[in-house]
Amino acid sequence: MDGSPVERSIERIMRMSGMAPDGDLTDSFAACIAEEFGIEAVNIRDERMLGHSKLLEYVANTRQPYVDNQLSEYSSFPELIAYLNAGNRSCAVVPVAIGGRMVLVVEMLSKKQDLFSAGLVGGVTVASYVVGLLILQRRETEQNAKMTRYFNSAFSSPVPQMIVSNEGTILKLNGEAARAFGVTEQQRARLGSLLDIDMKRVKERSMSGRETLVGSRNGTGTYAVHASDAGGSTTYVSARSTRAAERMESIAGLMGKGYGAGFIEFGRDLRITYSTQSLGKIIGYDSGLALSRSIVDLVAERERGAFKEAVERVDKEGSSTGMVGFSTDRGTISQVNFIVSRAPEGYLMLFYDAWAQAYVGSMRSAFDEFLDSSSDMALKVDEIGGITYCNHSVEAVLGYERSELLGKDIRTIYADQSVLERDLAYVRNGGKVDNSYTMFTSKDQGQGARKVEATNSIRLFKTGDSPEYVIIAKELETGRLLKAQAEKIKKLDNDKEKLTAMGQQKSRFIYNISHELKTPLTNIKGFSKLLYSGEFGPLNPEQLSHISTIIDEANRLVEMINQILDASKLDSKRMKLELGEVDLRSMESSPSIRALAEMAAKKGLSFSWHSDFDVPTIIADHGRLIQVFVNLIGNSIKFTEEGGIGVHISKHGKRRVRCSVIDTGIGISEENRHRLFRKFYEARGQVHVKQEGSGTGLGLSITKEIVNMHGGAIGYEPVEGHGSEFWFTLPIKRKRKDRSTR
């Protein structure tokens, strides 16, 4: 085949486009790019996948190709490191944006370094743009087809409906429109010859959910018209006779505009011909989309039979009442009370939300109870400034009886009425007032009215058609408030003493019970080891396996009990350090450290221990330092699946040493790092993976306490790329009098 790889790719793409669906087209395109440009792996990602990859998200935001021809563990994105680990050596990502819209992203991987030259990436970009255009064209064609199917379905409605071109020619109309205006589709009539209409004005009003009244040219009456765009060059128009509209509006006027109440008119065939917009609040989507559908389709499936029976009773009894559940767009059921009666062309159903009224009432009651119990002053004011409510704090601070304030002008209790007027005007115009400084006037109780400094916050609420202002005022620091605060502090001190005593009792109990558990566990371990060694006779392999499990679990229980005992000692200040000279460099040969090294090797991990030549001998508790290293190294082994663990000990300034445990494990998310050293929080297991045999969650908290007792510090740092570093510092020398620390 002649031509460049780009030309050959485009030629093959055009051949594919006539026969392959979107998914096959992108797969074939990926194979084409791989073959023509010699690339091992090509993946096509659509815009829905961009948020799942930081690399793809970056490329989509910058709209520029991204190339990394030498993948390494220091690459900029975690995805690139994963590609490196999978054996790839170079990567290129090409975005395809058309008309400001991301359509797809081409991701290419190669096991060769420096494969993706500027020419290759540019060629792939050109070919990808062609595929993007084809996919976008297909999506728009499918969207237009869906729109056509929707209109074909909606045109069965008894409301006149039409599709009109931008030039005003009627392209399609339903049977009701043909009967109302005496035209057919074949006549290609213009909408202006049927209705006295200003399409621009109708569209503007329709966007805000309003209809426009227009007269017909043939004298058949007035119509309420709604118009919306049906595509780039067409408009969807519905025209409802105002004779029906006037009847509906008169009923709506009687019902008011309450939330969750409205009515639906439907024909003998149960198809909806009209509904109030409040239906949309019940079902969760535009009530206009319910037109021409059967009302039974809105009812929850299990209640449809009973609802049909209720409608059938109307023919016999004149009306029917009950409760029914409407299916919402969220998949939930919204219960409504209803009354159905006969109408000239079918039925009229009045409904109201069965839960809304009770819910609103309960919310208002809860709000009033909250205001009553608040220590801040709370008042409600009507639109002309009359006080309609005040709580007990207003009486206590200002000295008025509640009966004296109800109906009183709010301005009379403000020392500076201009401040109040300013704040109310701001709220009335849609703003919110928070902590505005003001001054109230108390009741004159024989010694003259006093001024009460305060800050007030004001909100506007609507109750029906009437506004209501809620004012929350905080009295500034006074002797009364200081006294109340002192009493609160005293109570908190008493509570603290009780909690401290309870905590000490809890620690003593945990210590005693844990200590008692060690004796039976010692016997279990001892006899199990005798059984395992064949002291009481030979065992078969299955029996040996079971005995080995008993020994392992007993060891784990002993470790957990020791941690609980240590935590109890720390809580009760009974842990002591046995200080002496400690050579950190020789700790590598400790049996506990050697056991951890063997554990890492069994898991396929490397283990290293390195001490700098100038690390001095320090004064510390050798056993407790071994415990610190065991906790940190054990955690690293538990949460590392590949790579290894390294211990590094170095001199840190003139007076301290620093010990680091570094692994290549799963790391710790930033939002969870501040909780690492809390009790009962497992460092990484609960965030990323569920570890079998998880511990008590006390290891890191005990480790931190031991380091603190030595006068040191402990912390965590993420390792660049992947992994974790736990470090702690210790002073080189301590005074001998500190042997009994804590």
Looking at residue 512, its pLDDT comes to 63
Q: Residue 335: its pLDDT value, please?
A: 85
- 487: domain CATH number is 1.10.287
> What total of structural domains would you count in the chain?
6
Residues 389 and 333 in one domain: no
Helical residues (DSSP H) of 226-355, grouped into ranges: 242-255, 278-283, 295-298, 304-317
Q: Please choose, from the candidates 638, 642, 645, the residue with its C-alpha nearest in 3D space to the C-alpha of residue 607.
A: 645
Last residue of a domain, one of 333, 354, 375: 354
Tell me: pLDDT of 688 over 50: no
**Rounded to whole angstroms, what are the CA distances from 133 to 6, 129, 136, 460, 724?**
16, 6, 5, 52, 46
Instruction: State mean pLDDT over 96-107.
Output: 83
Task: State the helix-helix crossing angle for 5-17 and 118-154, rounded to 10 degrees.
Answer: 10
Q: Is the pLDDT of residue 741 over 50?
A: no
Residue 149 lies in a domain: no
251 part of a folded domain: no
Shortest CA distance to 264 belongs to which of 173, 336, 175, 355?
336
Which residues partner with 581 through β-bridges?
619
On whether both 411 and 447 belong to a single domain, the answer is yes
Residue 659 has pLDDT above 70, yes or no: yes
pLDDT of 107 reads 92
Do 526 and 603 sit in the same domain of this protein? Answer: no
**In which band, very low, low, confident or very high, does the pLDDT at 515 lie, cut at 50, 70 and 90?**
low
Q: What pairing do the DSSP bridges indicate for beta strands 644-652 and 606-611?
A: parallel
- pLDDT bin (cut points 50, 70, 90) of residue 573 is low
What is the model's pLDDT at position 603?
Answer: 92
Q: Per residue in 21-42, pLDDT tens?
A: 445 678 888 888 888 888 999 9
Over residues 529-544, mean pLDDT: 82
Note the pLDDT tens digit of each residue in 477-493.
655 566 667 778 888 88
Q: Are residues 307 and 441 in the same domain?
A: no
What pLDDT score was predicted for residue 687? 41
Q: Is 260 left (phi over 0), alpha (psi -120 to 50) or beta?
A: left
Instruction: Work out the average pLDDT over 175-184.
Output: 82
Q: Are 188 and 273 within one domain?
A: no
Domain range enclosing 587: 577-740
Judgement on whether residues 596 and 733 belong to the same structural domain of the protein: yes
Cβ contacts of 4-12, under 8 Å, gap ≥ 24? 4/123, 5/36, 5/37, 5/123, 6/123, 6/126, 6/127, 8/36, 9/33, 9/36, 9/123, 9/127, 10/126, 10/127, 10/130
Residue with tokens 């570890």: 691
Nearby residues of 513 by Cβ (< 8 Å), 6 or more positions away: none
Say which amino acid occupies 169: T
Q: What pLDDT is attached to residue 713?
A: 93
| Higher pLDDT pick, 497 / 455 | 455
98-125 average pLDDT score: 86
Q: 134 and 115 in one domain? A: yes
Residue 59's pLDDT is: 87
pLDDT band at 48 (very low <50, low <70, confident <90, very high): low
Q: Which is more confident, 676 or 428?
A: 428
Q: Do the domain assignments include residue 150?
A: no
- Domain end point (choices 321, 354, 387): 354
Q: What does the alpha-carbon distance between residue 335 and residue 460 come to, in Å, rounded to a whole number?
A: 30
Q: Which two tokens stand for residue 416?
A: 């500076």
- pLDDT value at position 93? 93
> Quick one: angle between helices 118-154 and 22-37, nearest 10?
170
In CATH, what number is assigned to the domain containing residue 432? 3.30.450.20
CA 272 vs. chain centroid, Å, equals 38
Query: What is the rounded average pLDDT for all residues in the chain?
Result: 80
> Which pair of structure tokens corresponds to residue 692?
């079998």
Q: Of the segments 96-105, 440-449, 620-629, which one has the largest average pLDDT value?
A: 620-629
Helix segments in 414-540, DSSP class H: 417-428, 479-532
Domain for residue 68, yes or no?
Answer: yes
When comparing pLDDT for 209 and 296, which is higher?
296
- 742 falls in which pLDDT band (50, 70, 90)? very low
Identify whether 220 is part of a domain. Answer: yes
Query: Taking the model in full, what pTM does it have?
Result: 0.32
Is 83's pLDDT higher than 80?
Answer: yes
Residue % of the chain over a pLDDT of 90: 17
562 within domain boundaries: yes
Per-residue pLDDT band at 16 (split at 50, 70, 90): low
pLDDT at 218 over 80: no
Do 268 and 325 fall within a single domain? yes
Mean pLDDT computed over 489-518: 71
The position carrying tokens 């009741």 is: 443
Whether residues 133 and 160 fall in one domain: no
Confidence of residue 651 (pLDDT cuts 50, 70, 90): very high
DSSP assignment, residue 328? P
pLDDT at 143: 63
Q: What is the CATH number of the domain that holds 117?
A: 3.30.450.80
Q: Tell me, yes or no, whether 290 lies in a domain.
A: yes
Instruction: Please tell me whether residues 38 and 55 are part of one structural domain.
Output: yes
Q: What pLDDT is attached to residue 582? A: 92
Residue 171 backbone phi and psi in degrees, to 5: -90, -30
Residue with tokens 């085949």: 1
Going by pLDDT thresholds of 50, 70 and 90, the confidence category of residue 13 is low
Range 164-193 average pLDDT: 84
- At 465 the pLDDT is 58
Domain termination site, one of 523, 550, 570 = 570
Percent of the chain with pLDDT over 70: 79
450 in the same domain as 529: no
151 — pLDDT class (breaks 50, 70, 90)? low
Q: Is the pLDDT of residue 693 over 50?
A: no
* pLDDT of amino acid 470: 92
Tally of CB atoms within 10 A around 639: 22
Name the pLDDT band for 134 (thresholds 50, 70, 90): confident
Q: Is the pLDDT of residue 691 over 50?
A: no
pLDDT of residue 690: 36
Q: What is the pLDDT of residue 256?
A: 41
Give yes or no: residues 31 and 118 share one domain: yes
148 is a domain residue? no
Lowest mean pLDDT among 66-70, 119-123, 306-310, 686-690: 686-690
